[in-house]
Structure 1
Amino acid sequence: MKRLLAITAAAGLALLTACTAGTEVSPTKIEASPTSHDPVTIEFWHGFSADNELKAFADTLAGFKQKYPWITVNATKAIQDDQILQAVRGGNPPDVALSFTTDSVAQFCKANIFQDLNPYLAASKIQADTLFPKVIAEYTQYQGKRCVMPMLADTYGLYYNKKLMKGNQPPKTLTELAELTKKLTVKDAQGNIKVAGFVPTSQMYENAPLHTGVMVGAKWTNPDGTSAVGSDPQWKKLMTWQKELTDALGYDKLEKFRKSFGDEWSADNPFNKGKVAMAIDGEWRNAMLAADAPEVDYGTAPMPVADDQPERYGAGFIAGTVIGIPRGAKHAEAAWELVKYLTTDTDALVTLSNAIRNVPSTLPALQSPKLKKDPNFQTFLDIFANPNSTTLPAHINSVFNQQTLSEAQIKWEAGRAPDLNALLAEVDKTINEKLKLTAGG
């Protein structure tokens, strides 16, 4: 599953919020199952595009067809959030839509982009609070409205190349990671990096602060929704550590090395090619390595943690794919049957998990004996179950908040913002001003 920051989606959501804020859709009476078995074709949009993902989806939809033979699913692949948003805005949405962007859930719910699923859950007698792990519940609802359901989860950990590790064990603390990075980094006669022990900069693929903040237990927001970035000392701790390691390796050298990489989602990923010894990545990399680089002998481990927080080792960041019924769907009851099947049917979730190596999102699926639990995948199941693992609860300005901190961190790493305290204070100010505008609008 490919987790991308949907900046274009944020722009579309902002526009739709202005058009639909305060417009509530009155739910009609929802039946637990369609009252008619007349043949119906529903449109299903999703973002999957890799061959193994598409095959897994085809197999899963075949199982749905066996259970609901009167419902035909017309699936469209490689759909992005902005396409869903434009379709809703234009009054011609699909019946079911899947999004990789949990960051947008608050906007999806607030602007009624997706319908409130609570009436459907009640009619189907599904207890979401006991079916899904608590951490998942935090990113699939906003202010009591559950407008999307979770369909598989993403968990982040550390991948390491056993050959490049040269017998060293994966680091458990940030100090160990820094020392090992320096030890394993190989440079040529001109000082250019040929192999990196680890690339510490935030622009390195999955190193965004959203994912690395869990290594120090950093907070994004205060209880009132305002920014906690500047007041939480953990962000300063993390960014100071990253800057010191970046400076030790050379920012310009790291950037030259990073810009030589292939596409993150292709066979040219530098971990596949043996160019980095350790990398932060999601559980899906297991399936990609099996498909694109089966010769790589690798292991997985939790991300290292701050030296003064050893009890938090084993935790990681958790997010996931979400799915729902867009406002204006033409066949809502049949659409709900597909949403329910893909998000609550244990065999369907296990089939998808085994094929694309995402973490199942229901407790029964996690406990299924059919779930493949090889050691490298088990790492992510353990991270998912760790009580210190965190997610980013739905926030109306989630994407904006992340973008603001990311831009600040790039300035800091590059040496363009020498005063970290002032930089983080400016992040707070920018985020809080945006929050006031959003609340006022």
Structure 2
Amino acid sequence: MKIVQMGMPLMLVAALAACSGNAAESGGKTTITFSYLWSGPEGEAIEKLIAGFNASQNKIVVKGVSSPDTQKQLASMSSANGTFDISDNFGNTVGSWAAKGILAPLDDLLKEQGVDTGAFAPAAMDQMRYKGQTYALPIAVHTFQLVYNKKLLDAAGVEPPRTTDELAAAIPKLTKTDGKGALTQLGLGNPNLPTSLTTLGYAFGGNWDGTDPANPAPSPGDPGNLAALKFWQDNITKKYGADKVNAFKAGWGQYMSAQDPFYSGKVAMVIDGEWQAVSIPKNAPELEWGVSPIPVARPDLDGTTQLTASTLFIPANSKHRKEAATFLKYMVSESAARELSLALGNLPARTGLAGDPAYAKIANFDVWLQAMKSPKVRSLSSAPYAAEYATDLESAFDSVARGTATPEEGMAKVAGRASGYARG
């Protein structure tokens, strides 16, 4: 899910809420508000699902409001009188918001609705829970795999790497410089450095939040994490020079535009999500590309990757929790999950849909799709410290990638700051 929408004026949001939040319509139907972060084609897909729900029964009317301003979303949830009854965000917010008491616990509501949480990707459900209770459900998930330029790999005589050793050997074969030593092609790029490095951390057997999802704690200095950061420094930063890498990156075009460095052949391989299977045919139709599982350090780590989730939740100040839960059940049902994921180019959160033939029409989508069922798929914790931790990791990753800190120095600094994180 890409959130790039313009915000709806607060007065309009309030007006919509006022006419829909508390009153039952004349026909005896209860009206609830679904405030969602999507707009454009994505918003149209949401409105189509809303219309389908409204037509499917005669007790509830859902009114959709496109409102991508997350600060207004949080302000509404923190007030005595909220402006919506159900909304969406990302999995890494769940623990923090649950600890603040602004999310409604869902277990009893889900039991009443007959929703089986075991139907969803386990790594996604890890993010949905806080202190043993469920506070959100995944509406879509995202996994990360190795995306590669077939022509560049073929020209270099490189097979898609399956291990981190093979990845290390492939990078220099796929990297080129001009007569002055400036980079003209890079073997492995990073559309998002934190995602690339946290995913590689898992691929080296590391853990970013300890080993117990029920009791997460920051573990930046895990040996596998350090091995991943050392891999990045040894095979990119030190090998080609941080200054030359940064100078090369400065000339990259906008992500997922026609000038994207992967689309234009400046980068041979990237670690990225399933949305590329929809974006590439639209924005780089001539590109010959493929996707393979994330290379891993050991055979027992085969199938390891990172998963993130888009979620639906009910705010604690909703005046229509049961009605919102009825709509929530509809939105995470197999039919709605299939329709929405196909419209957005995302993975369905239900593992049972991984083999659905509807996805076969999307080239290369199956690698990401099958990955969500792997027992080795991992997700960063959504514990109350998640936001602070992510910020500190991002800063440390940048230092490591620039060569201004060793992996040990960078992660030690994060560990020192972690002692002051909120635990909830």
- CA contact 1:97–1:323 (8 Å) conserved in 2: yes
State the Cα distance separating 1:361 from its structure 2 match.
1.2
Q: Does 1:185 align with 2:175?
A: yes
- CA contact 2:308–2:379 (8 Å) conserved in 1: yes
1:408–1:292: structure 2 CA closer, same or farther, 3 Å change rule?
Answer: same
Q: Does 1:431 align with 2:422?
A: no
Residues 50-107 of structure 1: CA distance to partner in whole angstroms, max 9, x if unpaired?
53x23432333332232135544333336143231112224333221100x2111101
1:60–1:274: structure 2 CA closer, same or farther, 3 Å change rule?
Answer: farther
1:261–1:43: structure 2 CA closer, same or farther, 3 Å change rule?
Answer: farther
Aligned position for 1:354: 342
Q: Does 1:366 align with 2:362?
A: no
Q: TM-score, normalised by structure 2?
A: 0.85
Aligned position for 2:263: 272
Alpha-carbon distance in structure 1 between the residues aligned to 2:197 and 2:151: 28
Aligned position for 1:173: 163
- CA contact 1:314–1:382 (8 Å) conserved in 2: no
- CA contact 1:205–1:264 (8 Å) conserved in 2: no
Alpha-carbon distance in structure 1 between the residues aligned to 2:159 and 2:111: 49
Q: Does 1:284 align with 2:275?
A: yes
State the Cα distance separating 1:40 from its structure 2 match.
4.1
Secondary structure at the residue paired with 2:252? coil
Aligned position for 1:404: 392
1:400–1:173: structure 2 CA closer, same or farther, 3 Å change rule?
Answer: same
- CA contact 1:107–1:396 (8 Å) conserved in 2: yes
State the Cα distance separating 1:227 from its structure 2 match.
3.0
1:421–1:276: structure 2 CA closer, same or farther, 3 Å change rule?
Answer: closer
Aligned position for 1:229: 220
1:148–1:255: structure 2 CA closer, same or farther, 3 Å change rule?
Answer: same
Q: Does 1:47 align with 2:34?
A: no
Task: Give the aligned CA root-mean-square deviation in angstroms.
Answer: 2.7
Aligned position for 2:408: 421
- CA contact 2:359–2:365 (8 Å) conserved in 1: no
Alpha-carbon distance in structure 2 between the residues aligned to 1:209 and 1:147: 28
Return 5+ residue gaps in structure 2 as ranges.
5-23
Q: Which stretch has the larger CA shift, 265-274 or 85-94?
A: 265-274
Alpha-carbon distance in structure 2 between the residues aligned to 1:188 and 1:160: 22
1:168–1:415: structure 2 CA closer, same or farther, 3 Å change rule?
Answer: closer
Secondary structure at the residue paired with 1:74? strand
Alpha-carbon distance in structure 2 between the residues aligned to 1:79 and 1:134: 28
- CA contact 1:227–1:432 (8 Å) conserved in 2: no
- CA contact 2:182–2:248 (8 Å) conserved in 1: yes
Report the AA paired with residue 335 of structure 1.
A
1:154–1:196: structure 2 CA closer, same or farther, 3 Å change rule?
Answer: same
Report the AA paired with residue 271 of structure 2.
I
Taking only the aligned residue pairs, the percentage that are identical comes to: 27
1:50–1:258: structure 2 CA closer, same or farther, 3 Å change rule?
Answer: farther
Return 5+ residue gaps in structure 1 as ranges.
5-33
Report the AA paired with residue 413 of structure 2.
E
Report the AA paired with residue 212 of structure 1.
L
State the Cα distance separating 1:193 from its structure 2 match.
2.3
Secondary structure at the residue paired with 1:433? coil
Equivalent residues in 2 for 1:18-33, closer than 5 Å: none
Aligned position for 1:394: 382
Aligned residues: 398
State the Cα distance separating 1:394 from its structure 2 match.
3.0
State the Cα distance separating 1:341 from its structure 2 match.
1.0
Report the AA paired with residue 72 of structure 2.
Q
Report the AA paired with residue 263 of structure 2.
N
- CA contact 1:357–1:377 (8 Å) conserved in 2: no
Q: Which stretch has the larger CA shift, 320-329 or 64-73?
A: 64-73
Q: Does 1:116 align with 2:110?
A: no
- CA contact 1:411–1:417 (8 Å) conserved in 2: yes
Q: Which stretch has the larger CA shift, 208-217 or 274-283?
A: 208-217
Q: Does 1:145 align with 2:133?
A: yes
Report the AA paired with residue 213 of structure 1.
G
Q: Which of 295, 298, 304 is the matching residue for 1:315? A: 304
Equivalent residues in 2 for 1:87-106, closer than 5 Å: 87-90=76-79, 91-99=81-89, 101-106=90-95
1:74–1:274: structure 2 CA closer, same or farther, 3 Å change rule?
Answer: farther
Alpha-carbon distance in structure 2 between the residues aligned to 1:49 and 1:266: 19
Aligned position for 2:254: 263
Alpha-carbon distance in structure 2 between the residues aligned to 1:258 and 1:248: 16
1:260–1:38: structure 2 CA closer, same or farther, 3 Å change rule?
Answer: farther
- CA contact 2:175–2:186 (8 Å) conserved in 1: yes
Secondary structure at the residue paired with 1:304? coil
- CA contact 1:108–1:147 (8 Å) conserved in 2: no
Q: Which of 324, 330, 333 is the matching residue for 1:341? A: 330
Larger % of strand: which? Answer: 2
State the Cα distance separating 1:115 from its structure 2 match.
0.8
- CA contact 1:318–1:384 (8 Å) conserved in 2: yes
Residues 309-363 of structure 1: CA distance to partner in whole angstroms, max 9, x if unpaired?
12323321112101111122243333222211111x2111111222222111124
Aligned position for 1:9: none
1:221–1:207: structure 2 CA closer, same or farther, 3 Å change rule?
Answer: closer
Q: Which of 205, 212, 222 is the matching residue for 2:200? A: 212
